[in-house]
Amino acid sequence: MKIIMLGAPGAGKGTQAKKIAEKYQIPHISTGDIFRANIKNGTELGKKAKSYMDQGQLVPDELTVDLLMDRVKNEDCKNGYVLDGFPRTIPQAEALEDALNKTGDKIDYAINVDVPDENIINRMSGRRACVKCGATYHLVHIPPKTENICDNCGSELILRDDDKPETVKNRLGVYHDQTQPLIDFYTEKGILKEVDGTQKMEDVFEAITALIN
């Protein structure tokens, strides 16, 4: 079972990807993790990726797909995997499809966790992070015991810059321009499944497993 997770920043797709991976005993794969592992291990592909990252450039799609295909050859992927955060654009989706076709493989489901922008802006502006230990809270869903103080270490909690409404709006704009077309791409392939991401986390997960099963 090979799954791609889609959804705007803050829609909760990463959380759901981890839960799917746990339930079905398949790896949760993000390109960031792959980059870090290859760079740490000094692989040829890792060195290539690092040369782009060191110059502040994006790793080209072809190289990212090569790294991804290298990862999914591993034994732990024999029953499938969940891709989180890739592909983000149509060219990436096409490059991934071509690479999988060459190995006689394909993606089974593209699951879109659908949440309106307004909900995401409200959700993310309620997040708070500890300046010292990095623990995260939410004013509504996971509030700290004492207002603006971390339960773990007693340090101050802040609203991070990337959770501020104006930043979130910008990120959503980029998402709609680049990633939204993937919804149409995977709809045409007949593998898109949509779930209402405004529900409770457990209900979203139940909806996803019902679609998969």
Which of 120, 156, 121, 119 is CA-nearest to residue 135?
A: 156
- Structural domain contains residue 52: no
The residue range of the domain holding 156 is 2-27+74-212
- pLDDT the model gives residue 85: 87
How many structural domains is the chain composed of? 1
DSSP secondary structure string for all residues of 19-78: HHHHHHT--EEEHHHHHHHHHHHT-HHHHHHHHHHHTTPPPPHHHHHHHHHHHHTSGGGT
More confident residue, 134 or 158: 158
Catalytic positions are: 13, 88, 127, 160, 171
Query: Has this prediction a pTM greater than 0.75?
Result: yes
DSSP character for 5? E
Q: Residues in the chain, how many?
A: 213
Q: Which amino acid is at 118?
A: E
36 assigned to some structural domain: no
* CATH number for 111: 3.40.50.300
- Give domain status of residue 63, yes or no: no
Convert the pLDDT of each residue in 150-195 to its tens digit: 999 999 999 999 899 999 999 999 889 888 899 999 999 999 999 9
Q: Which tokens belong to 159?
A: 């609203």
Q: For position 77, what pLDDT does the model report? A: 95
Q: Quick check: is 185 in a domain? A: yes
Give the model confidence (pLDDT) of 50-102 as tens digits. Answer: 999 999 888 999 999 999 999 999 999 999 999 998 998 999 999 999 999 99
User: If we measure between CA atoms, which residue out of 108, 94, 111, 91 comes closest to residue 7?
Assistant: 111
